[in-house]
Structure 1
Amino acid sequence: MIVNERQTQEGLLVAVCDEDVLGETFEDGELSLTVTEEFYGTDVVDERAAVESLAQADVANIVGTRAVELAVEEGFVDEANVLEVGATLHAQLLQMQ
C-alpha cells in the first residue's frame, strides 16, 4: 500500500491507496477519480503501517480494493459508506472532535 501524510488546517490528512491503482483514473457516470502521485505519494508501506497512519488521521482518502477493505476491517470506515468507482473502491474518513 502507498501512504502519504500531511498536515492541513483540518488536521492530519492521510491518503492511502493500493499500489496497482496509482496513476489510474476510474470513472462511474459523471464521477471521475484520478489517483495521482502528487496526492497519494510513493511511500510503500505494509498493512500494519497503513493502519497506524489511519488511526492518527483527522481526514483520510482511501482508494483501492484492499486499502478500503482494510479500512473497513479495522473499523475506520463503515462498509455502507464505501463507493464503487469504476473497477475500484473509494472511501473517505473524517474524525469529528
Structure 2
Amino acid sequence: MLVTERETPEGLLVAVCDEDVLGETFEGEGVSLTVTEEFYGGDAVDESATVESLARADVANIVGRQAVELAIEEGFVDEANVLEVGSTLHAQLLRMGRS
C-alpha cells in the first residue's frame, strides 16, 4: 500500500491506496474518483505501517480493496460507510475532538 502523511490545520491527513489503483479513475452512481499521484502517491509500506499511520490520523482518505478492508478489519472504518466506486472501494475517516 502507498501511504502519505501531511500536517494540515485540521490535524494529520493520511492518504492510503492500493498500489494498483494509483493513477486510475473509477466511476459509479454519479461519483467519479481519480487516485492521483499528487494526493495518494506516497511511500510503499506494509500493513503494520499502514495501521500505525491510520491510528495517528485525524483525517484519512482510503482507496482500494486491500486498503479499505484493512481499515475495516482494524476498526478504523465501519463497513456500512464504505463506498463502492466502480471496481474499487473508498472510505474516509474523520476523528473529531482529539487533542
- Which TM-score applies when normalising by structure 1? 0.98
The residue that corresponds to 2:19 in the other structure is: 19
- 1:34 corresponds in structure 2 to 34
Which secondary structure state, in structure 1, belongs to the residue aligned with residue 43 of structure 2? coil
Alignment partners' CA distance in 2, 1:76 and 1:42: 20
State the match for 2:55 in structure 1: 55
Counterparts of residues 63-78 of structure 1 (less than 5 Å): 63-78=63-78
Could you list the runs of 4 or more consecutive aligned residues of structure 1 that deviate by over 6 angstroms after TM superposition?
none
- Cross-structure match for 2:86: 86
Residues 4-56 of structure 1, C-alpha deviations (whole Å, 9 max, x = no match): 00011110000000000000000003210000110012310000000000000
Distance in 1, Cα, partners of 2:51 & 2:29:
31
Over the residues paired in the alignment, what is the CA RMSD in angstroms?
0.6
* Fraction of identical pairs, as percent: 80
**Where does structure 1 lack aligned partners over 5 or more consecutive residues?**
none
**In structure 1, what is the Cα distance between the partners aligned to 2:35 and 2:88?**
11
**SS at 2:12 equivalent:** strand
- Unpaired runs of 5+ in structure 2? none
Which residue identity is paired with 2:95? Q
* Aligned match of 1:9: 9
Task: Quote the Cα distance in structure 2 between the aligned partners of 1:63 and 1:88.
Answer: 7
Q: Deviations over 1:67-95 (max 9, x none)?
A: 00000000000000000000000000000
CA distance in 2, matches of 1:35, 1:55: 22
The letter for the 2-side match of 1:21 is: V
Q: Taking structure 2 as the reference length, what is the TM-score of the superposition?
A: 0.96
